Amino acid sequence: MKEVLGLKKTMSNLYEEIDEAIELGVKYALEDIATYTIDLSKPTVDTGAYITSFSYGVGSGRPRGKSSEGRPKEADPQTMATEGLNNLLNDINNIQDFNRKDTIVLRNGSPHAISVEEGGANWRLTQPYKIFERVRNKYG
């Protein structure tokens, strides 16, 4: 006596579970990176333009970028941090099919992003914040 077992359905179910686990893992990693990035950026808040200009990109498209021009100074850091984090979490939720993405880019499209990162004479503090460098050092 013998029994022929069809594994096609079992394998299909396993592949679905693996795909879901990968997607969930990538989402959690992106959320961790977003939270860390925003936490690092809180001391940079002046108008809120920089901290609310972070975005995740998955291809071509315009990065989120806000100018500090004409914005009131001394914005509440926590309010701006919440807005910035919500922007990134919305970006994550809008990504379709994580399993087919080779690259997801964290970017900041504010006109003064380079000054925040690198410091300089025209920046309010000459010491750079090196947000992207610190994120890269922690997450690779």
* Count of CB atoms situated within 10 Å of the CB of 82: 14
Strands (E), 1-140: 54-57, 105-108
Conformational region of residue 52, where left means phi above 0, alpha means psi within -120 to 50, and beta covers everything else: alpha
Give residue 124's pLDDT: 64
Angle at 63 between CA 62 and CA 65, to 5 degrees: 115
Question: Whole-prediction pTM value?
Answer: 0.86
- 100: DSSP letter: G
Which residues does 46 contact at the CB level (< 8 Å), separation at least 6?
68, 73, 74, 75, 124
pLDDT band at 101 (very low <50, low <70, confident <90, very high): confident
C-alpha span between 58 and 133 (Å, rounded): 20
> What confidence category does residue 90 fall into, taking pLDDT thresholds of 50, 70 and 90?
very high
Q: pLDDT tens for residues 33-85?
A: 999 999 999 988 888 999 999 999 876 667 777 777 767 788 899 999 999 99
